[in-house]
Amino acid sequence: MTQYVPMAPNITVYGQTTSVFIDVLKPFAVLQKAMLDALGVDQLDPHAWYPQELILRAYQKVDYVLGGRGLERFGRQVPPLVAFPPGIDGVHTVLSKLDVTYHLNHGRDGVVMFDLATGEMTDGIGHYTYERVGEREALMLCDNPYPCRFDMGLVHGFAGRFEPGVQVTHESSECRARGGDKCLYRVSW
């Protein structure tokens, strides 16, 4: 089984983001409890920060129980629970902002990894890199510690908020599920 490990020490994940994952697991009470147990809590505080190592351990439990398809389904269910800021009005916009959103919900040594005031981003957790390749097509390169199939579902879910007929396909032979450092997805609609 693939091991999910942080890319850098002292990385934390914002509780509000983590609570979305807990909400997605409501139909799977056993998994929801396993995720809370992995975090060492009975109830999640949406304003607290949790060690990424524990979050990734919880993902591993989800992967063990649900497998790749389950992780993908899990990822697809997250975006409908996320509030979007003004200005995000289409697939290209939401995908182009995914890396900033990702960094806003992670911290390193107690500091949020994207500063809204300066636009500065702290490295250490990988990225969601967007490339527009056509009017109804984009590429997303994911080189973060989260599972491949989860990211496929997450990208699909975010794009699907604006285009219900979206398709996401794995483009490269390199894959984090097979020990690679990154995955490349083609998003079309």
Contact 154, 73 (CB under 8 A): no
Cα–Cα distances in angstroms (integers) from residue 12 to residues 23, 50, 54, 161, 172, in the given order: 19, 5, 9, 27, 29
Q: How far apart are CA 104 and CA 53, in angstroms?
A: 18
Tens-digit pLDDT string for the chain (189 aa): 577 899 999 999 998 888 877 887 888 888 888 888 888 899 989 899 999 999 898 888 888 888 888 889 888 988 887 767 778 999 999 999 999 999 999 999 999 999 999 999 999 999 999 999 999 999 999 999 999 999 999 999 999 999 999 999 999 889 999 999 999 999 999
pLDDT for res 1: 57
pTM given for the model: 0.91
Joined tokens for residue 64: 């063990």
Per-residue model confidence (pLDDT) at position 97: 95
- Check: CB of residue 154 under 8 Å from CB of residue 78: yes
Q: What's the confidence (pLDDT) of residue 137?
A: 98
Distance CA 101, CA 114 (A): 8
Are 60 and 146 within 8 A, CB to CB? no
Backbone torsions φ then ψ of 170, nearest 5 degrees? -80, 125
Q: Mark residue 111 as left, alpha or beta (left: phi above 0; alpha: psi -120 to 50; beta: remaining).
A: beta
| Cα dihedral: 25, 5, 185, 23 (round 10) | 10
Domains and their CATH numbers in the chain: 1-189 (3.90.1520.10)
Report the pLDDT value the prediction gives residue 84, as an integer from 0 to 100. Answer: 73
pLDDT for position 170? 97
CA torsion 107-110-113-119 (nearest 10°) is: 150
